[in-house]
Amino acid sequence: MYVFLIRRVLAAIPVVVVVTIFVFALLHLAPGDPAAIIAGDLATAEDVAKIRAKLGLDQPLMIQFFTWAGQLLRGDLGNSIFSAHPVSQLIGQRLEPTLTLTVMTLFISILLAVPLGVIAAWRVGSWIDRGVMGFAVFGFSVPGFVIGYVLIWVFAIELDWLPVQGYTPLAKGFWPWLSNIILPSVTLALAYMALIARITRAAMLETLSQDYIRTAHAKGLATPHVLLRHALHNAAVPIVTVIGIGVALLIGGVVVTESVFAIPGLGRLTVDAILRRDYPVIQGIILVFSGAYVLVNLIVDMLYTVLDPRIRY
């Protein structure tokens, strides 16, 4: 197990390096010129060229890359081209809201979706099953921003229970923090629950029909026991996979949700940085993201071995 762990972590390094080079090349080959954005709309090409030179953006791509990579090896992600803030600080500022949103969403959706999926599979064909499946379809066929707007309208404007927008750090109190994060988490969770419930149900149906379940049933084991002990246990592998994949999907959803609710998280930092071509920031975020993916997938792979001892590494 430990050997596996070390091997995996070592294997992750080339992944991150390749991603880094790939992203750097793509970014710098794509059109868009931070110097032009800095100079402003009414600046002339000469002004833009001067600023570009000052930023070192007129250097050959290779030199720019090695300058950046050199900094990186010293643990320095560089500074934003625009605000001159260190990239690590910018990411640090944005980590809490995004982590809160992600964890809260995962919490809500797993808590609700896995039982829903299990019940739907157990009572397959019943009105419960149809209800769950109908909800699943609804959940991921409505765009996140529409759900967000409806929730704002109902819970923040009409009922006046929760704030419209913004984020309050946990340090400033539990309720202010929670009240700001409820609507965005529910917005995100709705689509995500739909996915988890569907896959849970599918995996459960698969397992329920396998021989040993039939055997268990024939042996006269009580239904909830069979359901939980055998079926869920075996269905866990695909479910965990989907949750692992879902973390990746969450990052995409976070971008939209953070925009709708004006939450200063990593998603918005990414979009802002892309739109203004703040290269060091984009590159820094990519590094953080790839790190997170590698970690999540590592955890998922380890969960496989725990959940299903037949899988070995």
Partner 1 sequence: MSVYRRNAFRATAAGALALILASPWSAIAQSVLRLVPQADLKILDTVQTTNNITSNHGYMVYDTLFSLDGKLAAKPQMVESYSKSPDSLTWKFKLRPGLKFHDGQAVTAKDAVASILRFSKRIPAGVTMMQFAKEIVATGGDTFEIRLNKPFGLVLETLAGPENPLFVTREADAQLDPNTAMTTAIGSGPFMFVREEWVPGSKVVYKKNPDYKPRSEPADGFAGGKLAKVDRVEWLVIPDSNTAVQALIKGEVDIIEIPQTDLLPLVRKDPNITVKVIDRVGTQAIYRMNHLIPPFNNAKARQALLYATGDQRDYLSSMIGFAEYEKPCWAVFICGTPFETQAGVGDWAKGDKKANIEKAKALLKEAGYKGEKVVVLDPVETHLAHAQAVVTAQKLREIGMTVELAAIDWGTQSARRQIKDGPDKNPGAWNIFHTWGGGLAMNSPLSNTPTPSACDGKNWFGWPCDEELEKIRLEFPLAPPEKQKEIVERLQKRFYEVVPYIPAGQFFAPVAFRKNLSGILDTPRLVLWNIEKK
Partner 2 sequence: MSGASESIAIPDAPPARAGVVAFLRRHPTVVIGCTLLLAIVIASIAAPWLGTVDPISINPGQRLKSPSAEYWFGTDRFGRDLYSRVIYGGRISLIVGLSVAALATVIGLAIGLVSGYLRAVDAVVMRVMDGMMAIPAIMLAIALIALSKASVLIVIIAVALPEIPRVVRLVRAIVLTIREQPYIEAATATGTSLPRILLRHFLPNALPPLIVQATYICASAVLIEAALSFLGAGTPPEVPSWGNIMAEARPYFQLKPMMVLLPGIFLAVTVLAINLVGDGLRDMLDPRLARKM
User: Is residue 203 exposed (0-12), middle (13-18) or buried (19+ Cβ within 10 Å)?
Assistant: buried
Q: How far apart are CA 59 and CA 46, in angstroms?
A: 17
By CB under 8 A, is residue 147 in contact with partner 1? Answer: no
Write out the binding residues for partner 1, residues 85-114 only, by CB under 8 A.
Answer: 85, 90, 93-94
Applying CB under 8 A, among 1, 10, 73, 84 the residue interacting with partner 1 is: 84
Q: How far apart are CA 272 and CA 264, in angstroms?
A: 11
- Residue pair 188/105 in contact (Cβ under 8 Å)? The answer is yes
Residue 90 interacts, among partner 1, partner 2, none and using kind-specific CB cut-offs from 5 to 8 Å, with: partner 1
Q: Which stretch binds partner 1 (CB under 8 A): 118-126, 175-183, 233-241, 301-309?
A: 175-183
* Residue type (1 letter), 288: V
x/- letters, 234..273, toward partner 1 (CB under 8 A):
-------------------------xxxx-x---xx--x-
The tokens for 223 are 């239904």
| Closest separation in Å from C-beta 92 to partner 2 | 19
Applying CB under 8 A, among 86, 163, 238, 291 the residue interacting with partner 1 is: 163
Write down the residue that tokens 């709705």 correspond to: 190
Applying CB under 8 A, among 4, 82, 155, 289 the residue interacting with partner 1 is: 82
| Angle, helices 2-29/279-307, rounded to nearest 10 degrees | 150
Write out the binding residues for partner 1, residues 33-72 only, by CB under 8 A.
Answer: 33-34, 36-48, 50-51, 53-54
